[in-house]
Amino acid sequence: MDATADVGVELVPGTTMPARRLGTSELTVGAVSYGCWRFAGGAVTAAEAKIVAALDAGMTLIDTADIYGFGSQADGTDFGDAEVLLGQVLDADPGLRDRMVLATKGGIRPPVPYDQSREYLVEACEASLRRLGVEFVDLYQVHRPDVLTHPADLAATLQLLIDRGLTRTIGVSNFTVAQTRALQAHLDVPLVTSQPEWSALHLDPLVDGTFDLCAETAMTPLAWSPLGGGRLAPSDDPADERTARLVEVLDRLAAARGVERTVVALAWTMRHPSGPIPIIGTQQPERIRSLAAAAEVTLDRAEWYEVLVASRGERLP
């Protein structure tokens, strides 16, 4: 295991987790983060155990969204359920709020499906704060682009959220490079994050310009589904030939380090120089703690490219 927490690397206090700055902001977060997309449902005590496990491991960025939890009830009454449960956790132990960088997202409005008009997005942010039981979030991201809202209008709304103290920083999720640039052109404050799907099974940010833009502007990439929707997690049989190739390489690299395949898969996503922060979503506290080891594993250049070649299924040009 190759430790990245060398002398001179800032660590999350009380942990061995390297810390990373969130874009150009003053906020620092752990190099691995915890996401609440599967967080809704269950007892508050069980939910609190997951959040505490993440924070204790140094995963200080806690990522949620108003849409998380939606879909299990036909009448849509479960919209916001993940935020509600996280709010109950914070209410049960208010001290947890001071330990985390709290992020949420808005702008999806079933069944519209997207609405980033000023009226709706301000209302959505306020509703998120009520569900979470907080006065502000540290990061508010636009979840998916509403192409019927002009970027100048969206920029004005995001600036309003900052001016009112409802969020400290802003970012985007699932935006193209062009959409991100268009929005930033109308902002007086920087977008600090871009949240794309990124894993050894989903390579788009490498080639669509997302990581290049992050490197150019110092935005922090927050990677959702870094284990390929669970396909790179332990299972009986890989679902397809491509996954089987990846599993063979990841297992070999993991065995050489004495860690789990998922740890190496996460470490692979973190190796890109734009500094991606993977968002894990396991519901098991022991798995949360074990996946934190990804921050202490570094793949060398040959190993990283071997994984990439296995994913592509062909040699690099």
Tokens of 48: 């609190």
**How buried is residue 224: exposed, middle or buried, by Cβ count under 10 Å (0-12/13-18/19+)?**
buried
The enclosing H or E element of 63 equals: strand 61-63
Is residue 160 a contact partner of residue 188, using CB atoms and an 8 Å limit? no
- Strand, helix or coil for residue 254: helix
Nearest to 37 by CA among 227, 269, 259, 166: 227
Is 68 assigned a catalytic role? yes
Distance CA 18, CA 3 (A): 10
DSSP codes joined into one string, 70-123: TTSSTTSTTTTHHHHHHHHHHHH-GGGGGG-EEEEEE-B-TTS-B---HHHHHH
Distance CA 27, CA 89 (A): 22
> Which of the following is catalytic: 34, 68, 120, 140?
68
- Known catalytic residues? 68
